[in-house]
Amino acid sequence: MIAGSTGFAGSLKAQISRVTLTIDKLPSHKLQAMSENKPVWRSPVVIIGLVVIALAVALYFTNILKVLSFDSESNAPTIPAGHIVLTSRLQKPKLFDFIAFHNTSQAGAPVWLLRICGMPGDSVEIRNGDLLINGQTVDSALTLSHSYLLQKKDTAGLKINKSEALPVDEDRILITYPDKLARQLPAITQRYVVPEGVVDSLMNKVFHEPFNIDHFGPVKVPDHSFFLLGDNRSNALDSHYTGFVDVKDFIGTVIYY
């Protein structure tokens, strides 16, 4: 090891000597130009880049501004799976806004995205599959998906995930489909509504009432809480199943999607 180190030191010394001789031979005006060059980090472009990076990091970790993407169909067709959204904590959330939040009902409190369908003090009810807030129906203003009954023979040409289609009998299947598209297709004629009295065991564990996806409430949203639903009403893990969301778990309001 000592011999190797000595050889390296000798080689390094020779290299330094050659560099010194090269510099000594340079014209005086070139030496002056080299001494006047500013360090790279003082370049305006580099400084602006560093400021932008620092600002972006600060905005992200303070939740002032976040760019998020969610691998979930809970908000389809409005926000499909994998779609990128921009959220801001500075935007005060209001009824029907999408918000990002920590879902504390799940291990690790992952970040989820859902629509506010009940503010503190609101009465929320779902009657025959339609949402009522404080006694007023509101779904007509939203872009939603629901469950539909469809004849198997009529599925040709339809953009449906057949792996998610549920067989009802030999001739019919149950699918989740955007309402707007369903109204345009003659093959889709019957929206499926879970009958009243059919109890969803998961909802019963949360609300201790005989609710289901299409017959729910009325419930009053507690203070400092939200009631959140996915636009994919028949296929979303939302406040139906997880309960109210505390405002302290709010991350940001979606300002772009």
pLDDT at 96 over 90: yes
User: Whose CA is closest to 91, among 256, 257, 254?
Assistant: 254
pLDDT at 11 over 50: no
CB of 120 closer than 8 Å to CB of 225: yes
pLDDT at 208 over 80: yes
pLDDT at 2 over 50: no
Give the position of tokens 């620092």: 54
Strand partners, 175: 148
The model's pLDDT over 104-151, given as tens digits with 9 standing for 90+, comes to: 998 999 999 999 999 999 999 999 999 999 999 999 999 999 999 999
The letter for the amino acid at 158 is: L
- pTM score: 0.76
Predicted pLDDT at 40:
54
Distance from C-alpha of 186 to C-alpha of 164, rounded to nearest angstrom: 21
Q: 6: pLDDT confidence band, cut at 50, 70 and 90? A: very low
Predicted pLDDT at 51:
61
Task: Parse the chain into domains and list their residue ranges.
Answer: 1-37, 43-119+246-257, 145-178
| Rg from Cα positions in the chain | 31
Predicted pLDDT at 121:
98
User: Whose CA is closest to 237, among 200, 209, 210, 208?
Assistant: 200
CB of 115 closer than 8 Å to CB of 239: no
The model's pLDDT over 149-203, given as tens digits with 9 standing for 90+, comes to: 999 888 877 777 776 789 999 899 999 999 999 998 888 888 999 999 999 999 9
Distance from C-alpha of 112 to C-alpha of 242, rounded to nearest angstrom: 12
Q: 22: pLDDT confidence band, cut at 50, 70 and 90? A: very low
Cis status, amide bond into 186, omega within 30 of 0? no
| Number of DSSP helices (H) and strands (E) in the chain, helices first | 6, 15
